[in-house]
Amino acid sequence: MSNIVDYAKLSGDFVCGADGFYVYWPKGQGALTEWDLYLLHRELVKMNAKTEEMFNEYFRNQQRSEASSRMDGGQACGEDGSGNSTASLDGTSGT
């Protein structure tokens, strides 16, 4: 690990936000080089991997849930697949 990452950790510059993701929030830090920022980026990616995976899993489950609710023939209730209603007001088929 580089000196900048060690310093940032010891200084408490990695702060966990309300969304569960860490951010780099330097206190009284001077100028940073491109390399320093790259190393900090890599560290944030590692620190946020678990939270990122939790969000990804949640959205994968949401997509699966939506897909499985459409698996009942692929049509909404009362539709023939063309968007036209197949039910009449009296409850009988309109076809």
User: Are residues 56 and 63 in contact, defined by beta-carbon separation less than 8 angstroms?
Assistant: no
- Please give the DSSP secondary-structure letter assigned to residue 89: T
Distance from C-alpha of 26 to C-alpha of 37, rounded to nearest angstrom: 12
| 75 vs 21: which has the higher pLDDT | 21
In tens, the pLDDT along 69-95 reads: 776 555 544 455 554 544 444 555 555
The pLDDT, as a whole number, for residue 87 is 47
Distance from C-alpha of 53 to C-alpha of 82, rounded to nearest angstrom: 38
The pLDDT, as a whole number, for residue 32 is 73
Per domain, the residue ranges of the chain are 3-61
Over residues 29-54, mean pLDDT: 89
Pairing outcome for strands 14-16 and 22-24:
antiparallel
The pLDDT, as a whole number, for residue 46 is 95
Report the mean per-residue pLDDT for the chain.
77
